[in-house]
Amino acid sequence: MTAAIDVDGVSVALAGVTVLDSVSTSVDEGQFVGLVGPNGAGKTTLLRTITGALAPDRGTVHVAGEDVAALGSRATSRLVASVPQSTALAFEFPVSHVVAMGRTPHIGRFGTRTAADREAVDAAMERAAVTDLADRPVTEVSGGERQRVFLARALAQDTPVLLLDEPTSDLDVNHQVRTLDIVSDLVAEGRTVVAAIHDLDLAARYCDELRLLYDGRIQASGPPASVLTDATVEAAFGARARVVEHPVTGSMSVTAFGSDGATADGRVHVVAGGGAATPLLHHLDAAGFECSVGAVSADDPDAETARAIDADLVTVPPYAPVDDEARAAVVDRLRRADAVVVADVTVAAGNRPVLDAVHEADVPVVVVDGRPIDARNLAGAAGRRLDARLRTRGRVVDDDPAAVVAAVRRVVGGGAGDADTDPDSRTAEADPRP
C-alpha cells in the first residue's frame, strides 16, 4: 500500500524557534490519523507543511507520491483539502458561496460552475448538515456552525486527503460526535484524514492511529492504546494522568490530574468496595502514593481500578464475606501503611472484619464523609457504632478525591495542621511597625 502522506525529516523554525525537529511519519491511504500533543507542540505547523502553506527548512513532504514543494497550489489543492482551526471572515458571503469556493481548484479561470460543481456543493452541504444555513451570511452563524461550513467547503473540494485542524474545538458534544462520524464515513470511503485533535478521548475513539507530537518530534506513533499511556501522556502534557479503557466506548480515556510539582511518598491502604473508591484510587496513584486496596470482591469495580493502577490488592471471591485469611492480609497491609482511607463504602457483615481491623490498627485514618451512615448500613446497630468509632478516631474529609488526597498528604507528612497558618500571626506580619 502506498503512503498517502509521507513526511520525511521535516524541520521548521518559526521566528527562530524550532517548532518541528526532523519529523518523519507516514500515513497510509484510507486511514484516520489523529495528531495529539500539548498546545504549541507544532500540530498546526505540521499540517501546514502538508498543505504546502509552509515550506519546511529541511526535509520533504509527499502527498500521493508527489513532492508538495514542487507542486503548484492548484495541483496541491486537488490533492489536499484542509479545514482551518480559526477563520477570520470579515465579508458577508452567504454560506453556500463559501462552500462553493471549495470548487475553486476544479474551475478554470474563465470557466463557470457546471452542474457537477453545483451537485458537489449541495452534497457537501447536506453531508456537513449546513444546508439549512445556505443563505445565511457566514459572518452571522455561530462558531460551531462555521466549523461545519468549512468542513463542507473541504468536502466540496473533493480531495483524496483531508486535513483537519481542531475540527471539533467549537462544537457541542452532539456535533463533535456527528462531525467525527462524518469524517469516519469519509475514511471508510477511502479518503485519508489527518486531524489535530486536542480531546484525547475523542482522538482515541475515532482515529485508527495517533501521532503524539511534543518537543518538536513525534514521540509516539501507532494505535491509540499504544500511544496513550500514563507515561506518554505525563511526559507530553506534564500532567499526571490515568489512561483507562472507557466503559462505554471501549476506547482509551484519559484523565489528567494537573501537576503541582510535588510527588508524594508513602503507602496508603484504601478500604474500598462497590466502586466508591475508584476516582480516589486514581487520584492517590496520580499523586504518587503507593496504594493497597481491600478486601474487596474480586469482581468489584474498585478491584478493577486497583488492578489498573497496579495497587496491592486483597480480594475475596464474589459474594463471599471477608474470612480470616483475607483479614490477616488486610492487617498485614495496614501494618505497612502510612495511612488508611475508608471510602464511602457500605457497612455490612461481610466487610465488618476489615473495618474492625482498621479501627484496631496503629495507623492514621481518613474517613470519607459520603452518604449518611443509615443509607449504607446493612449491619444494624453494630454498623452504626463502628462508623461512629472510626469517625472519632480518624480525620473526616468531604467526599472529594482532591480533598482526600490533601488530607492523606497531611497525615502521612506527620505534621497535622502544618499547612494551616495561624491567621493572627499573619496579620501581625502584615502590619510592620517601626
Output the CA torsion 97→98→102→103 (10° steps): 10
Report the C-alpha gap between 350 and 356 in whole angstroms.
12
Q: Which is nearer to another protein, 80 or 276 (CB)?
A: 80
Residue among 34, 52, 279, 364 that touches another protein (CB under 8 A): 52
- Provide φ and ψ at 376, rounded to 5°: -140, 25
8 A C-beta contact, residue 413 and residue 263: no
Q: Which is nearer to another protein, 73 or 421 (CB)?
A: 73
Express the helix, strand and coil content of the chain in percent, nearest 5 each.
40, 25, 35
Smallest gap from Cβ 187 to another protein, in A, equals 20
8 A C-beta contact, residue 128 and residue 81: no
Q: Which is nearer to another protein, 139 or 249 (CB)?
A: 139
Q: Which is nearer to another protein, 102 or 273 (CB)?
A: 102
Smallest gap from Cβ 9 to another protein, in A, equals 22
Smallest gap from Cβ 34 to another protein, in A, equals 20
User: What string marks each residue from 71 to 100 as x (binds another protein by CB under 8 A) or -?
Assistant: -xxxxxxx-xxx-x--xxxxxxxx-xxx--
Residue among 134, 177, 235, 406 that touches another protein (CB under 8 A): 134
Smallest gap from Cβ 109 to another protein, in A, equals 6
Q: What is the DSSP string of 137-165?
A: BGGGS-HHHHHHHHHHHHHHH--SEEEEE
Pair type for strands 66-67 and 58-63: antiparallel
Report the C-alpha gap between 274 and 337 in whole angstroms.
22
Q: Which is nearer to another protein, 158 or 344 (CB)?
A: 158
Q: Does 232 interact with another protein (rule: CB under 8 A)?
A: no
Span of 67-75, 181-189, 225-233, 352-360 interacting with another protein by CB under 8 A: 67-75
Identify the residue whose cell numbers are 482515529: 207
Residue among 101, 225, 231, 328 that touches another protein (CB under 8 A): 101
Q: What is the largest CA-CA distance in the chain?
A: 90
Q: Which is nearer to another protein, 129 or 177 (CB)?
A: 129
Listed in sequence order, the residues at least 6 apart from 383 whose beta carbon sits closer than 8 Å to its beta carbon are 347, 348, 352, 373, 377
Residue 225 has, within 13 A of its CA and on its CB side, a CA count of 5
8 A C-beta contact, residue 231 and residue 253: no
Q: Which is nearer to another protein, 146 or 242 (CB)?
A: 146
DSSP letter at 326?
H
Applying CB under 8 A, the site for another protein has a residue count of 42
Smallest gap from Cβ 73 to another protein, in A, equals 5
Q: Which is nearer to another protein, 84 or 401 (CB)?
A: 84
User: What string marks each residue from 110 to 129 as x (binds another protein by CB under 8 A) or -?
Assistant: x--x----x--xx---x---
Smallest gap from Cβ 176 to another protein, in A, equals 23
Smallest gap from Cβ 82 to another protein, in A, equals 5
Residue among 51, 168, 292, 297 that touches another protein (CB under 8 A): 51
User: What string marks each residue from 10 to 49 as x (binds another protein by CB under 8 A) or -?
Assistant: --------------------------------------x-
Smallest gap from Cβ 29 to another protein, in A, equals 20
Listed in sequence order, the residues at least 6 apart from 138 whose beta carbon sits closer than 8 Å to its beta carbon are 89, 92, 93, 94, 95, 97, 98, 146, 149
3-state secondary structure (DSSP) of residue 50: helix
| Contacting residues toward another protein, per CB under 8 A | 48, 51-53, 72-78, 80-82, 84, 87-94, 96-98, 101-102, 104-105, 107, 109-110, 113, 118, 121-122, 126, 131, 134-135, 157
